[in-house]
């Protein structure tokens, strides 16, 4: 005969501990459990999740299924439907920017692929369904427009600059406004003014993530940013080479000094798989960044090998194309996933207090 049926209270009880990946608070508390139906040994649940946590929707679904199957009798059949929930970002930093997380991507040393990783994070999160802005603050070498294949100049409407739309990603870069070569001599106050203006006077709209491609090594912009807005944290890009790692350690120290948390380290150009013979070459050494991250007690987000196609797509302005390529996509996806997963885990450990709306 069929197994004893499960009752609704048991399901309610088991769902009590499931957290919203965006806020870390229980789903039931935020009214995100929209429907529960129980028929004998079959459970159907509908939950509402925000686009902020889109990369983690599948994880959340699997977690609920596993949790209910292991905590309820007779391993029920569980179906979880996810419906989108619109929960706009709140303005941060008193400059009218509405974003849920602001993430700086930095490196100690130039040429390690910082912009490639910043663009990949933005494209990857955007493709997962998040609302993403990308600010190229690397005045000394603004390569984001090149990596995204645009030279379109931003226009101003109602005293606000309109970001350039690249496949739904909102992008703004100094490189689209300042003539090449001019910003190279900028120092403190000029940089400060420019970055403030780009954050404040761009019509970013409602963002889940704002990714900022920082100039390599310099502390000026980190300081400016940390004073302007509460940054969620920084991602440090480096290669496995000793000198790059030393510079990465300096970058970690620089962000620490201005109280910007380190969200993780990415190792770029980790190795090269020769397309002719499939042999692996550790051109800059191997695993150095992972070990360094462990030593520094910061998360390691993943590694990206050297691939000719990654360079070619960068030059062709087809960074989104990396996500359609079986060779490149898993590396970039892993980094986006690890970042969002770590952010969700931080929130789960330390959920923010609910904000009360004053009518």
Ligand X SMILES: Nc1ncnc2c1ncn2[C@@H]1O[C@H](COP(=O)(O)OP(=O)(O)OP(=O)(O)O)[C@@H](O)[C@H]1O
What is the spatial distance between Cα 313 and Cα 148, in angstroms, rounded to a whole number?
9
Using the rule CB under 6 A, give the single segment among 6-14, 109-117, 151-159, 345-353 that binds ligand X.
109-117
What is the spatial distance between Cα 187 and Cα 171, in angstroms, rounded to a whole number?
23
Using the rule CB under 6 A, give the single segment among 88-96, 106-114, 247-255, 290-298 that binds ligand X.
106-114
Query: Does residue 311 touch ligand X according to CB under 6 A?
Result: yes
Q: Which is nearer to ligand X, 11 or 119 (CB)?
A: 119
Query: Does residue 321 touch ligand X according to CB under 6 A?
Result: no
What is the spatial distance between Cα 141 and Cα 187, in angstroms, rounded to a whole number?
14
For ligand X, what does the binding mask look like between residues 133 and 172, x meaning CB under 6 A?
Answer: -----x--x-x-----------------------------
Q: Which is nearer to ligand X, 14 or 195 (CB)?
A: 195
Query: Does residue 124 touch ligand X according to CB under 6 A?
Result: no
Q: Which residues are annotated as a binding site for ATP?
A: 108-115
Radius of gyration, CA atoms only, the chain: 22
Q: What angle do CA 273, 145, 148 make, to 5 degrees?
A: 50
Q: Which is nearer to ligand X, 49 or 176 (CB)?
A: 176
Using the rule CB under 6 A, give the single segment among 76-84, 104-112, 194-202, 228-236 that binds ligand X.
104-112
Q: Which residues are annotated as a binding site?
A: 108-115
Query: Does residue 202 touch ligand X according to CB under 6 A?
Result: no
Residues 254-273 that bind ligand X (CB under 6 A): 268-269
Query: Does residue 175 touch ligand X according to CB under 6 A?
Result: no
- Residues sharing a CB contact under 8 Å with residue 66, sequence separation 6 or more, in sequence order: none
| Number of residues engaging ligand X in binding (CB under 6 A) | 20
By CB under 6 A, name the binding residues for ligand X.
107, 110-116, 138, 141, 143, 216, 268-269, 304, 306-307, 310-311, 314
């Amino acid at each position: 005969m069929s197994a004893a049926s499960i009752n609704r209270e048991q399901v309610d009880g088991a769902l009590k501990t499931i957290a919203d990946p965006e806020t870390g608070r229980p789903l039931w508390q935020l009214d995100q459990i929209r429907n529960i139906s129980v028929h004998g040994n079959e459970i159907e649940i509908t939950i509402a999740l925000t686009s902020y946590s889109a990369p983690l929707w599948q994880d959340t679904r699997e977690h609920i299924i596993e949790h209910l199957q292991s905590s309820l009798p007779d391993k029920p059949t569980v179906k979880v439907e996810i419906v989108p929930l619109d929960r706009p970002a709140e303005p941060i930093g008193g400059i009218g920017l509405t974003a849920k997380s602001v993430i700086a991507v930095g490196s100690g040393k130039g040429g390690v692929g910082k912009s490639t990783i910043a663009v990949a994070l933005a494209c990857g999160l955007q493709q997962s369904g998040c609302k993403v802005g990308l600010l190229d603050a690397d005045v000394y070498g603004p390569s984001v427009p090149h990596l995204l294949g645009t030279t379109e100049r931003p226009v101003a409407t109602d005293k606000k600059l309109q970001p350039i739309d690249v496949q739904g990603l909102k992008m703004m870069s100094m490189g689209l406004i300042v003539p090449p070569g001019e910003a190279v001599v900028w120092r403190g106050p000029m940089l400060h003014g420019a970055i403030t203006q780009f954050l404040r006077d761009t019509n970013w709209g409602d963002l889940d993530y704002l990714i900022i491609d920082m100039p390599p090594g310099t502390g000026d912009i980190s300081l400016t940013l940390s004073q302007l807005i509460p940054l969620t944290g920084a991602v440090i890009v480096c290669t496995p080479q000793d000198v790059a790692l030393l510079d990465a350690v300096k970058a970690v120290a620089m962000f620490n000094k201005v109280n910007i948390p380190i969200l993780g380290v990415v190792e770029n150009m980790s190795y090269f798989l020769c397309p002719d013979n499939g042999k692996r070459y550790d051109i800059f050494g191997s695993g150095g960044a992972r070990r360094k991250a462990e030593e520094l007690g910061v998360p390691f987000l993943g590694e990206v090998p050297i691939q000719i196609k990654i360079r070619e797509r960068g030059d062709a302005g087809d960074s989104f194309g990396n996500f359609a390529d079986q060779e490149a996509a898993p590396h970039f996806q892993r980094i986006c996933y690890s970042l969002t997963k770590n952010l969700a885990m931080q929130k789960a450990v330390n959920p923010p207090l609910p904000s009360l709306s004053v009518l």
